[in-house]
């Protein structure tokens, strides 16, 4: 029996306009877990290659990062717009390096440089998460 070859479906992406709006904002509001008790939390976000990435600073067991590990569905809020999202861990070294660079380029005030550098190291770097629309 010959099986038809499955065509790889193109991953969902945010519109260019929405990605540009995210890139221009310092903070993005995120709620992890579909139907969870989590509230929206303000986090830093970057855009690389038209894709949206976030990292966790605190990595609390009760925080958004661990909630996404249990349930990859959630939502982001930008302005008055709430958008359902899916979270996926990033393991590509090429993307991890690009996200490091994006944080360093976006968050350049004296107060934020320490955090941008901290995001590029160790466990925080390992929390790199890509957000895509559901």
Per-residue pLDDT of the chain (134 residues; tens, 9 = 90+): 344 444 456 678 999 999 999 999 999 999 998 876 789 999 999 999 999 999 999 999 999 999 999 999 999 999 899 999 999 999 999 999 999 999 999 999 999 999 999 999 999 999 999 999 99
| CATH no., domain 16-132 | 2.30.110.10
- Residue 68: name the closest of 13, 15, 132, 4 by CA: 132
72 conformational bin, left if phi > 0, alpha if psi -120 to 50, beta if neither? alpha
Q: Model-level pTM greater than 0.85?
A: yes
Contacts of 104 (CB under 8 A, 6+ apart): 116, 117, 120
Report helix, strand or coil for 3: coil
């Amino acid at each position: 029996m010959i099986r038809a070859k499955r065509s790889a479906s193109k991953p969902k992406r945010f519109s260019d306009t929405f990605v540009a709006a995210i890139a221009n904002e310092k903070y993005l509001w995120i709620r992890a877990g579909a139907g969870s008790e989590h509230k929206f939390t303000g986090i830093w976000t970057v855009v690389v290659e038209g894709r949206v990435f976030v990292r966790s600073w605190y990595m609390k067991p009760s925080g958004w990062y661990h909630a996404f590990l249990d349930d990859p569905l959630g939502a982001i809020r930008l302005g008055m717009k709430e958008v359902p999202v899916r979270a996926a861990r990033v393991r590509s070294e090429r993307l991890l390096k690009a996200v490091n660079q994006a944080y360093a380029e976006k968050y350049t005030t004296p107060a934020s440089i320490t955090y941008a550098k901290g995001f590029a190291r160790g466990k925080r770097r390992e929390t790199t998460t890509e957000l895509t629309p559901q």
